[in-house]
Amino acid sequence: MKYAVVGSGNAAWVVAQAWSERENACHGVLSRDAKSGQALAKALHAQNLPLWPTSNPFAGVVLLAVSDDALPEVAQEARRAFPNALLLHLSGATDRKVLPGRSAVVWPMASLQRGGRLNHSKTHVYWEVSDEADRAEVEKLAHALSNHCHELLSDARLALHTAATLSNNFVTHLLVESRRLCNEFNVDPRWLHDLWEQTVKMQINHPTGDWQTGPARRRDELTLSAHLRILNERPELAQAYQALTASIQAAYPSTSADPSVTEDALKQAPNSL
């Protein structure tokens, strides 16, 4: 199978190299970053094509590995340059229909970094295609990235992407800020590791349980105020703390215990803070 790549950032490197390793030949690379584009084309043993060619008869897959904000404009340019090609993007949050004509999505739910590789046994990939005639080809490209591939339409994929952002990107930010706070007060942040590990394990192993504890749910106003004083010099983080507190309290309007949580289950939960 032949494909071309538009873009030369992290996603382009990871996905294109994975495809080429599975006997998919790269027709060419188009990139605004000439140096990076040339390097990717060399790595893929492909041509470094001009951005944009007037019209190219290439009818294979054109991978649009660009930012979500750039996709609508790039998609129009790509369709003019490759009128017969199947346009494909990698975005979890962008509707397939932003791509005119024959179109598809292959979204690996993973952080993509140049030099990194997708874990075939763990990474999940979600795909969608406009034309039934292209289904087998797109599914093959998805399976070149992972053993776990699922067909998922745009609305459901957007919901999953939102959930992934909440639980991965936002949590990563909070973990980094937690480390910084510890360091500011000369506290070893490694003392938090056991609590983090317990928290994640409980959510994975007992997903139907209700493990939310802490001063927000208990409405411990003195503790909440004390925490905000600690964050006084970090107004953005204090705002995030207040927003999350409000969200927790809206989810749990009563401080009473959840009847679905058994005594044995509570014994396994992380120690209440």
Per DSSP (E only), the strands in the chain are: 2-6, 25-30, 47-48, 61-64, 86-89, 103-108, 124-129, 148-151
The predicted structure's pLDDT at residue 23: 84
Residue 246 lies in domain: 157-268
CB atoms within 10 A of CB 41: 21
Are 48 and 89 found together in one domain? yes
Are 58 and 76 found together in one domain? yes
Specify whether the CB–CB gap between 9 and 17 falls below 8 A: no
**Helices 34-43/10-21 angle, 10° precision:** 10
pTM reported for the whole predicted model: 0.85
DSSP for residue 86: E
- What are the distances in angstroms from CA 76 to CA 8, 44, 58, 81, 256? 19, 25, 16, 9, 55
Closest CA to 31 of 89, 76, 74: 74
Extract the tokens encoding 84: 């017969």
Last residue of a domain, one of 117, 152, 187: 152
CATH number at residue 85: 3.40.50.720
Q: Is residue 273 part of a domain?
A: no
**How many domains is the chain built from?**
2
pLDDT tens-place string over residues 30-86: 999 999 999 999 999 999 988 887 888 888 999 999 999 999 999 999 999 999 999
Element (H, E) at 267: helix 263-268
The predicted structure's pLDDT at residue 16: 95
**In terms of C-beta density within 10 A (0-12 exposed, 13-18 middle, 19 or more buried), how is residue 166 classed?**
exposed
Extract the tokens encoding 58: 């290439």
Extract the tokens encoding 77: 């340019």
Last residue of a domain, one of 112, 131, 152: 152
pLDDT tens per residue across all 273 residues of the chain: 899 999 999 999 999 999 999 988 999 999 999 999 999 999 999 999 888 878 888 889 999 999 999 999 999 999 999 999 999 999 999 999 999 999 999 999 998 888 888 888 999 999 999 999 999 999 999 999 999 999 999 999 999 999 999 999 999 999 999 999 999 999 999 999 999 999 999 999 988 878 889 999 999 999 999 999 999 999 999 999 999 999 999 999 875 544 444 445 445 555 557
The predicted structure's pLDDT at residue 259: 45
Are 53 and 87 found together in one domain? yes
Specify whether the CB–CB gap between 159 and 176 falls below 8 A: no
CA atoms within 13 A on the CB side of 73: 6
Q: What share of the chain is helix, strand, coil (3-state, %, to 5)?
A: 50, 15, 40
Last residue of a domain, one of 152, 176, 208: 152
Specify whether the CB–CB gap between 129 and 149 falls below 8 A: no
The predicted structure's pLDDT at residue 56: 83
The predicted structure's pLDDT at residue 238: 97
Closest CA to 2 of 32, 45, 39: 45
